[in-house]
Amino acid sequence: MSDIAPADSAGDHATSPAAGVEITGKAIRLDGVTKRYAGQETPAVDGITLEIPAGQVVMLVGPSGCGKTTTLKMINRLIEPTEGRIILGDEDVTAINGDDLRRRIGYVIQAGGLFPHMTVAQNIALVPKMLGWSKERVDKRIDELLDLVSLDPADYRDRYPRELSGGQQQRVGVARALAADPPVLLMDEPFGAVDPITRQRLQDELLRIQQEVRKTIVIVTHDFDEAVKLGDWIVVFREGAQIVQYDTPERILAEPADEFVENFIGSGAGLKQLSLRRVNEVELADAITVPAGGDAAEAKARAESEKHGHVVVTDQRGRPLAWPSLRALGRMTTLPTTLDPSLPVIGARATLNDALDTMLVSSAGAALVTGRGGAFVGVIDVETVMDAITAARTAMGERATDAPVGTNTGVIGTIPASPTERAVDG
């Protein structure tokens, strides 16, 4: 395959009322955590108190050197805190064996961090084998995870990292991090080493995976657009891991805490709102679908009779191959049987911002939307996205949701575990 493609109490498993999916993540609490390095007057992280709700994606953003990666690495104690406590679920893990803790927390870095001398299967099996899993259980888990990250186990389990593209390596890195079914997944600039198109597709893949597994995910990024797209919550840091704002993407875009946050967001907050909505949340247009290799004249006649300017040529699995106009059909005798590399295609879980980018390079001013297995599900056009921009401006700032605790002083209190629960509680 190519590269295209919330809890009743902290630490408990629960079911999200919105999605009906079991939450397998645990809440994380950093309580007054500080990191000082010898010879430096200013702490790298200064007294941070932060709660990360179970089953949610929390993005840590800020300028280089602000302490966000140090904060992330103190969660699994790759970096030991100088002061403070780290709580995973209901357990204080500040003083337990660091290696044991890290086997309970998934960790993903740029390019996946795969061992080059090991196959894909061997990379994924590392932690389960350390935990004493049986060979049968490990093999079953490898195949489950390769399916989860959309890599065919028969094709990929015996390959080496050098035989994979950058995007495929990153997918295997995510599979390895999930191998022992940890409640928490930490990701340090996971998509920073791939090209923009692959990055977009990997982001979409992560969102799809999170819908299924509902882990607690903490991601470090320099890219605010990525934070808006992926995060349920965003923490904006300045130097010393000083928390400037901790809130939903909607609220940060609508009500930045100060000029520092405004500058970090940059211009175009209205357009950034498009990263909060998915293609499958808007109404898609229908299209005429015709089988590959069919008669072009018949396809043209059908499109004309139903007043359509194009037809979507699909393969036997319903995946789009081409999108010829009536004029193009008039020059054909047989419909195409191979994929048009310039075909504007977007996944149903992609953001409207991604869809707009795809449409802007399309001569049709629209894009084909694909769902599960790459099957064609409809057409999205520029007018639909423009309507969404208008709606986003109207709704900006209307959502009033209490944020989790995030400060550089004080003690963590008790909060609901998800935005949905907070909304229900009023």
* Of 345, 4, 1, 2, residue with least CA distance to 205: 4
The predicted pLDDT at position 195 comes to 83
What CA–CA distance (Å, rounded) separates 217 from 424?
23
Same domain for 292 and 157, yes or no, is no
Is 103 a member of any domain?
yes
Cβ 314 vs Cβ 292: under 8 Å? yes
Is 416 a member of any domain?
yes
Q: What is the pLDDT of residues 7-56, one digit of tens each?
A: 333 333 333 334 467 899 999 999 999 999 999 888 999 999 999 999 99
Same domain for 20 and 63, yes or no, is yes
Same domain for 85 and 192, yes or no, is yes
Same domain for 169 and 295, yes or no, is no
Helix (H, G, I), strand (E, B) or coil at 49: strand
* Of 316, 364, 314, residue with least CA distance to 344: 364
* Percent of the chain's residues with pLDDT above 70: 87
Query: For residue 335, which amino acid is it?
Result: L
Same domain for 115 and 171, yes or no, is yes
- Inter-CA distances, 321 with 61, 278, 280, 365, 378, Å: 39, 23, 21, 18, 14
Is 288 a member of any domain?
yes
Dihedral over Cα of 169, 173, 174, 180: its sign? positive
Same domain for 305 and 413, yes or no, is no
The predicted pLDDT at position 186 comes to 96
| Residues counted in the chain | 426
Tokens of 150: 């959309």
Same domain for 240 and 324, yes or no, is no
The predicted pLDDT at position 131 comes to 92
Q: What is the mean pLDDT of residues 128-153?
A: 94
User: CATH number of the domain that 290 lies in?
Assistant: 3.10.580.10
Same domain for 101 and 229, yes or no, is yes
Residue 334 has pLDDT above 70, yes or no: yes
Q: What is the mean pLDDT of residues 309-332?
A: 95
Same domain for 272 and 357, yes or no, is no
Is 168 a member of any domain?
yes
Q: Which of 97-106, 360-369, 379-388 has the lowest mean pLDDT?
A: 360-369
Q: What is the mean pLDDT of residues 297-321?
A: 95
Helix (H, G, I), strand (E, B) or coil at 44: coil
Is 8 a member of any domain?
no
* Of 98, 79, 73, 101, residue with least CA distance to 88: 101
Q: How confident is the model at residue 396 (pLDDT cuts 50, 70, 90)?
A: low
What CA–CA distance (Å, rounded) separates 164 from 159?
8
Mean residue pLDDT across the chain: 85
The predicted pLDDT at position 32 comes to 94
Q: How many CB atoms lie within 10 A of CB 168?
A: 23
The predicted pLDDT at position 125 comes to 96
Is 377 a member of any domain?
yes
Eight-class DSSP state of 277:
S
Q: What is the pLDDT of residues 54-104, one digit of tens each?
A: 999 999 999 999 999 999 999 999 999 999 999 999 999 999 999 999 999
- Total of domains in the chain: 2
Same domain for 236 and 351, yes or no, is no
Structural domain boundaries, residue 286:
280-390
* Percent of the chain's residues with pLDDT above 90: 61
Is 204 a member of any domain?
yes
Same domain for 284 and 271, yes or no, is no
Name, in order, each residue with C-beta under 8 angstroms of 165's C-beta and a sequence gap of 6 or more: 2, 3, 198
* Of 176, 155, 158, residue with least CA distance to 112: 176
69 forms beta bridges with none
Cβ 299 vs Cβ 311: under 8 Å? yes
Is 322 a member of any domain?
yes
Same domain for 177 and 89, yes or no, is yes
User: CATH number of the domain that 236 lies in?
Assistant: 3.40.50.300
The predicted pLDDT at position 411 comes to 44
Pairing between strand 28-35 and 57-61?
unpaired
